[in-house]
Amino acid sequence: MKVAVVGATGLVGKVILQLLEERNFPVTELLPVASARSLGKSITFRNIEYKIQSVDDAIAASPDLAIFSAGGSTSLRYAQAFAERQCIVIDNSSAWRMDKTKPLVVASVNDHHISNEHYIIANPNCSTMQLMVPLAPLHKAFQIKRLVISTYQSFTGTGKQAVDQYEYEKANQTYNSEIAAYPHKIFANCIPHCGDFGDDGYTTEETKLVNETRKILDDPSIQITATAVRVPVFGGHSEAVNIEFEKAYDLEQVLDILKSTPEVILQNEAENNLYPMPLNAYETDPVYVGRIRRDHSIQNGLNMWVVADNLRKGAATNTIQIAENLLQSGRLPK
């Protein structure tokens, strides 16, 4: 199988390559693609050295699978060209997520939305991704009426520039606007500003949580509001989630559902100080759920805390899981 990775030198791109190797995905030829400044450089994959190439060269090579992690403008410009060559594209950007003709997929939740005519498949935003894993079975059981989501998102979600800013500030204790990804220091700080502000005062990250959740759960009636905060954490994204269900629930039912949900690890022992933390989620694939308790302020209310590694389950792992499902269904060559 010939596989192109567009954005191979970025934070998520590197994790995608790592997971292709870890999960023994049957790549027979790798086409690593990066920006013009990386052309001619090499990467090593399964002890073989591959030259970075241009996206045009990768399109001409007609791969079976193209994994995009290079930003929305790149995906909008090139994804269709791959698809026209019968190459399946799995895209990590926001470019196609709300396109009604493209499935927005969390592998363990709604991969049944992918049909044979789909050649571009969208990955959700990392914060949405981890949230859908525990929410989908709870929605099926009790029907979610309203969600209030507060996110505490790792600066790694912004990319290499944010990592460089954090490391610089950690070493120098000063802010340098010329190299910064954010308008303020991120080291030892929290910034309630993820993405760009819209006219309504919400950021793009907050709006994505609203729109993508409704599309993935296939329920536009769910009322959702969100606040997204960037925090000085490496290990992953954390989310405080307040849920109002339409139906009455029993707390033991909720716990049983989550215990039996693939990819969820329940860490819900307050008496033992056991609860999800990004420090423990770092470089792992599951979604960790804990601090589960009834919200006594509303009928059928529930609070929980959700944590996952944003570069793995929030992006790269789901991408590879989608590809594995396509492999099993026969849409990709084994």
Residues annotated as catalytic (active site), given as ranges: 126, 237
Give dist(CA 305, CA 155) in Å, integer: 19
What letter does residue 124 receive in the DSSP assignment? P
Question: What are 320-323's contacts with CB under 8 Å, separation 24+?
Answer: 320/16, 320/19, 320/20, 320/23, 320/25, 321/107, 321/108, 322/90, 322/105, 322/107, 322/111, 322/114, 322/121, 322/123, 323/25, 323/65, 323/67, 323/90
Q: What is the 3-state secondary structure (H, E, C) of 226-287?
A: EEEEEECCCCCEEEEEEEEECCCCCHHHHHHHHHCCCCEEECCEHHHCECCCHHHHCCCCCE
CB 321 within 8 A of CB 327: no
Structure tokens at 252: 């033991």
Give dist(CA 99, CA 324) in Å, integer: 23
Structure tokens at 174: 């000063």
3-class secondary-structure state, position 114: coil
What is the secondary structure of 204-215 as a DSSP string?
HHHHHHHHHHHH
Strands (E), 2-71: 2-6, 29-33, 42-45, 48-51, 65-68
Element (DSSP H or E) covering residue 27 = none
Structure tokens at 19: 């997971």
10 Å Cβ neighbour count for 330? 9
C-alpha distances in angstroms, 121 versus 79, 219, 322?
A: 10, 20, 9
3-class secondary-structure state, position 160: helix
